Amino acid sequence: MKPYAELTKEELMELRKVLKAQYREYQGKDLKLDMSRGKPCVEQLDLSMGMMDVLNSDSDLTCEDGTDCRNYGVLDGIREAKELLADMMEVNPDNLIIYGNSSLNVMYDTIARSMTHGVMGSTPWAKLDKVKFLCPVPGYDRHFAITEYFGIEMINVPMTPTGPDMDMVEELVASDEAIKGIWCVPKYSNPQGISYSDETVRRFARLKPAARDFRIYWDNAYGVHHLYDHDQDHLIEILAECKRAGNPDLVYKFASTSKVSFPGSGIAALATSLNNLADIKKQLKIQTIGHDKVNQLRHVRFFGDIHGMVEHMRKHADILRPKFEMVEETLERELGGLGIGEWTTPKGGYFISFESMEGCAKDIVAKCKKAGVTMTPAGAAFPYGKDPKDTNIRIAPTYPPLGDLTIAMELFSLCVKLASVEKLLADMKENRNAE
Amino acid sequence: MKPYAELTKEELMELRKVLKAQYREYQGKDLKLDMSRGKPCVEQLDLSMGMMDVLNSDSDLTCEDGTDCRNYGVLDGIREAKELLADMMEVNPDNLIIYGNSSLNVMYDTIARSMTHGVMGSTPWAKLDKVKFLCPVPGYDRHFAITEYFGIEMINVPMTPTGPDMDMVEELVASDEAIKGIWCVPKYSNPQGISYSDETVRRFARLKPAARDFRIYWDNAYGVHHLYDHDQDHLIEILAECKRAGNPDLVYKFASTSKVSFPGSGIAALATSLNNLADIKKQLKIQTIGHDKVNQLRHVRFFGDIHGMVEHMRKHADILRPKFEMVEETLERELGGLGIGEWTTPKGGYFISFESMEGCAKDIVAKCKKAGVTMTPAGAAFPYGKDPKDTNIRIAPTYPPLGDLTIAMELFSLCVKLASVEKLLADMKENRNAE
């Protein structure tokens, strides 16, 4: 098949007829498939059912240091949980606080604290006229929702295959004191699955922000979420790199076991410099007496250590790999060479990112929806939900069973074709009118 | 023994000698007892060990409505957990949000949200020159710590045997728009164990605050924490009373299972009007994807229903009752009729409140500490840690074994006597100097 851009008007009209007939067939199938969020599938959840057995009524729920996990106390997490999460996050356990079940909540809380109390003694952001954040795009919608909720102005920074456009980041951060942070998913990014290059991480660690309360919000959500055993992305550890660069306080690093054990019932953590930790603990001791230590202990007893967690993640990979491969194969088979879309082929994480022709993404997602397949809303990966070029669609292959996913991706490809043909025809009409 | 105030100087000096000798004996015993916090004891924690068995790897972790508790989702709690907590809190499940492991955290979060986003559309408190809270005293130190952290000015309101001084509350609330809230522990209050009378609750529900974003922060921490089977305090349910009074949005009600199952590993909840809930959910959906549903399910499967929880609380009472009775008996035996202290005899909750002669509380606590018994710091039950008369001491009888508690209370009584004698002698000297 020729690239669509080379087809004549007549060929396109004929093609549209064929595609429409195929689309109507799908509409008749009464599909109800949800590909909107990056949720683990049932088989993945089953992997962690053993976690329900590691503690029982005969168990000693005492920590290695003698703390009874069943009672009040221990503000920043039990030692053995810190060690496990520190190994997962590649940091020193002393640089870590264990929180509750959600790293998103820790990020929210970090912004909320900065609003009311500033960062290490700086002016509370709520007292400033203007606060801005840099947002690499496409990115994670829930990050952007937090900054939007607090009235923080968001500035788009384009993603490149090696991470955010660092020339732009460096320049903006150095020149504008109102810029207080940047949202990053540095490994297997949401939604593109891009891992930041060594140079990108090094440039991050060497940023010279105008604002002394500027921090990098490093959401390492997919740090151990590889799809392959050997062909894995490696990320330079940012805390250590910041320390080496003489900027030890520049970064907050977040992670959780949400997609390791059970989403919503895992444990979350924040890792940062001792200075930042001291600042955060002033709040933490007011906020709570302590997080769920029994659940911390449950995780430690289930995984044992980081090797146990790595072995566990291999089982996740075995379930997810065929899904990712199927999506990529279908897209290649259906759309390869047509010049109407591009997609990423990540080695880990939870998403594949699709780029349509300009102005087609919303239409494609709407067409999928009308035929019973719910995708993440087009534009969701951009601040304020606005994709300037209307090209980006996030594909979340993890949750549906492989059979459903195959059908969904075939329908998706069909919708891409149909939307593209319609766009090309509309453009032709417009060009004629303009002549 | 005569009241100390009737003793002559010589009698007091002789008494001081005897008491000092007794005190030195205690100092020689190398005691190390901690009565500083209201923590459940080991036997109480053992009561909930069955909770570790209700979910195992063969369990179906599906809710009644079909939700898989192991995955993302369900922002405000699973239905069956709402029903259990609603019964515990005497409210409609639809008026409730289930949170994480800590109601203190929910209260913190409620204040933090009001700071940055106001209450149902009001001006964010961070944008106001002055925000004030009413603080019934003595009260709960962690409440006061939250308002202090946010720079909210705290106004002491004296507690009476029927609750806070309502004349004062009504007048202040009606006259000052800067007053945005009042901290209440309405049942078996911390530290006095006072339950608000019917009239007090009715007057609360009929408050006419100048500030439309004024809310009552109703921390019903000890709602089901009775010591006796029949001789129990009963509290008018505040949400319903506010609704009847035409003030449905006036109150936030908080509770948790911290002292029902495991402190720090229980589930917390907030109950309030649908209007307030809608306001709160605007934040909640940004803050998290959902709280720990597996733990919610664990609680539901363990307790079954409210009757199961009531039976469970009876076992707690059986452990705690002898401790409270021993404290009261010791105080009566050692201090009865001496006119140097008064104490409460609550029917539930976690504390007994002691009132010394003016200016003695700090000294008594210091003397206990020097002999190896750590009490809650004197003044802790007051905003900014300042007890204006230096009389209040919180006694927390729950955690130590009965034997330790007996020794601690004997030492405590001795310290009360010694401090009182020293105070009376000092006063005599002062009076003589003044003549």
> Residue B267: closest CA among chain A residues belongs to which residue?
A292
User: What residue ranges in B287-399 does DSSP mark as E strands?
Assistant: 341-343, 352-356, 373-375, 392-395
* Number of other residues whose CB lies within 10 A of the CB of residue A135: 27
Q: List chain B residues with CB under 8 Å of A118.
A: none
| Residue A432 confidence class, pLDDT cut points 50, 70, 90 | confident
| Residue B254 confidence class, pLDDT cut points 50, 70, 90 | very high
**How many CA atoms within 13 Å lie on the side-chain side of A359?**
7
- Establish whether the linkage from the previous residue to A322 is cis, with ω within 30° of 0: no
For residues A381 and A344, give the distance between their C-alpha atoms in angstroms, rounded to a whole number: 15
Q: Strand A392-395 and strand B373-375: pairing?
A: unpaired
Q: In 3D, which of A50, A66, A2, A30 has the Cα closest to residue A338?
A: A2
* Cβ of residue A292 closer than 8 Å to a chain B Cβ: yes
Q: In 3D, which of A77, A158, A144 has the Cα closest to residue A111?
A: A144
Cβ separation of B286 and A146 shorter than 8 Å? yes
What pLDDT digit, counting tens, does each position of B147-167 carry? 999 999 999 999 999 999 999
- The number of C-beta contacts closer than 8 angstroms across A and B is 155
Q: List chain A residues with CB under 8 Å of B289.
A: 102, 104, 142, 263-264
DSSP secondary structure letters along A25-72: HHHTT---EEESS-PPPHHHHHTTGGGGTSS-TT---B-TTS-BTTSS
A139–chain B nearest CA distance, Å: 16
Cβ separation of A73 and B45 shorter than 8 Å? no
Q: What residues contact A82, with CB distance under 8 A and at least 6 apart?
A: A76, A93, A96, A98, A269
- B149, A283 in Cβ contact below 8 A? yes
> Residue B265: closest CA among chain A residues belongs to which residue?
A292
A206–chain B nearest CA distance, Å: 31
Q: Of A59, A112, A291, which has the smallest distance from its Cβ to B264's Cβ?
A: A291
Q: In 3D, which of B77, B345, B122, B314 has the Cα closest to residue B215?
A: B122
> Residue A72: closest CA among chain B residues belongs to which residue?
B263
3-state SS class at B339: coil
Q: In 3D, which of A230, A237, A163, A228 has the Cα closest to residue A200?
A: A163
DSSP secondary structure letters along B158-211: EEETTEE-HHHHHHHHHH-TTEEEEEE--SS-TTT-----HHHHHHHHT---SS
> Tokens in use for A68?
């009874």
For residues B295 and A264, give the distance between their C-alpha atoms in angstroms, rounded to a whole number: 10
**Mutation for B interface: A99, A284, A294, most B CBs within 10 A:** A294
A9–chain B nearest CA distance, Å: 47
> Residue B259: closest CA among chain A residues belongs to which residue?
A71
What pLDDT digit, counting tens, does each position of B324-369 carry? 999 999 999 999 999 999 999 999 999 999 999 999 999 999 999 9
* Cβ of residue A123 closer than 8 Å to a chain B Cβ: no
Unique residue bearing structure tokens 């919610």: B296
> Residue B118: closest CA among chain A residues belongs to which residue?
A150
pLDDT score, position B249 = 98
* Number of other residues whose CB lies within 10 A of the CB of residue A66: 6
3-state SS class at B396: coil
For residues A318 and A229, give the distance between their C-alpha atoms in angstroms, rounded to a whole number: 10
| Residue B426 confidence class, pLDDT cut points 50, 70, 90 | very high
pLDDT score, position B412 = 98
For residues A54 and A49, give the distance between their C-alpha atoms in angstroms, rounded to a whole number: 10
- A413, A1 in Cβ contact below 8 A? no
For residues A115 and A393, give the distance between their C-alpha atoms in angstroms, rounded to a whole number: 32
Percentage above 90 pLDDT, chain A: 97
Query: What's the DSSP call for residue B88?
Result: H
| Residue A433 confidence class, pLDDT cut points 50, 70, 90 | confident
For residues A79 and A297, give the distance between their C-alpha atoms in angstroms, rounded to a whole number: 10
pLDDT score, position B392 = 98
pLDDT score, position A431 = 87
Q: List chain B residues with CB under 8 Å of A258.
A: 72
- B57, A50 in Cβ contact below 8 A? yes
| Residue A37 confidence class, pLDDT cut points 50, 70, 90 | confident
Could you give the angle at the alpha carbon of A322 between the alpha carbons of A319 and A328, nearest 5°? 140
**How many CA atoms within 13 Å lie on the side-chain side of B122?**
20
pLDDT score, position A358 = 98
- B108, A112 in Cβ contact below 8 A? no
- A117, A213 in Cβ contact below 8 A? no
> Residue A113: closest CA among chain B residues belongs to which residue?
B112
Cβ separation of A101 and B283 shorter than 8 Å? no
* Cβ of residue A55 closer than 8 Å to a chain B Cβ: yes
Mean pLDDT for the stretch of residues B34-60: 96
- A216, A173 in Cβ contact below 8 A? no
Q: List chain B residues with CB under 8 Å of A105.
A: 287-288
Q: What is the enclosing helix (H) or strand (E) of A137?
A: strand A132-137
Q: Of B56, B69, B108, which has the smallest distance from its Cβ to A53's Cβ?
A: B56
pLDDT of B435 strictly over 90: no
pTM across the whole model = 0.96
Unique residue bearing structure tokens 């408050």: B207
- B222, B208 in Cβ contact below 8 A? no
* Cβ of residue A155 closer than 8 Å to a chain B Cβ: no
Interface of A with B in 73-92 (CB under 8 A): 73
* ipTM, 2 dp: 0.96
B404–chain A nearest CA distance, Å: 19
Cβ burial of B170 (10 Å; 0-12, 13-18, 19+) is middle
pLDDT score, position B434 = 78
Alpha-carbon distances, residue B90 vs B236, B255, B307 (angstroms): 10, 11, 13
* Cβ of residue A366 closer than 8 Å to a chain B Cβ: no
Q: In 3D, which of A252, A236, A155 has the Cα closest to residue A200?
A: A236
Q: In 3D, which of B60, B63, B59, B53 has the Cα closest to residue B83?
A: B63
3-state SS class at B36: coil
Percentage above 90 pLDDT, chain B: 97
Question: If you count them, how many residues does chain B have?
Answer: 435
Question: If you count them, how many residues does chain A have?
Answer: 435
Cβ separation of B56 and A52 shorter than 8 Å? yes
Report the amino acid identity of residue A268: A
Cβ burial of A194 (10 Å; 0-12, 13-18, 19+) is buried
Q: In 3D, which of B183, B196, B156, B160 has the Cα closest to residue B172?
A: B156
For residues B285 and B254, give the distance between their C-alpha atoms in angstroms, rounded to a whole number: 19
Q: At what angle do helices B306-335 and B402-434 cross, to 10 degrees?
A: 50
A119–chain B nearest CA distance, Å: 15
Start-to-end C-alpha separation, chain A: 30
Q: What is the enclosing helix (H) or strand (E) of A415?
A: helix A402-434
- What's the mean per-residue pLDDT of chain B? 97
Give CA torsion, residues A51, A57, A63, A64, to 10 deg.
-90
Percentage above 70 pLDDT, chain B: 100
Q: Of A50, A57, A283, which has the smallest distance from its Cβ to B52's Cβ?
A: A57
Start-to-end C-alpha separation, chain B: 30
- B125, B307 in Cβ contact below 8 A? no
What pLDDT digit, counting tens, does each position of A344-397 carry? 999 999 999 999 999 999 999 999 999 999 999 999 999 999 999 999 999 999
* Cβ of residue B385 closer than 8 Å to a chain A Cβ: no
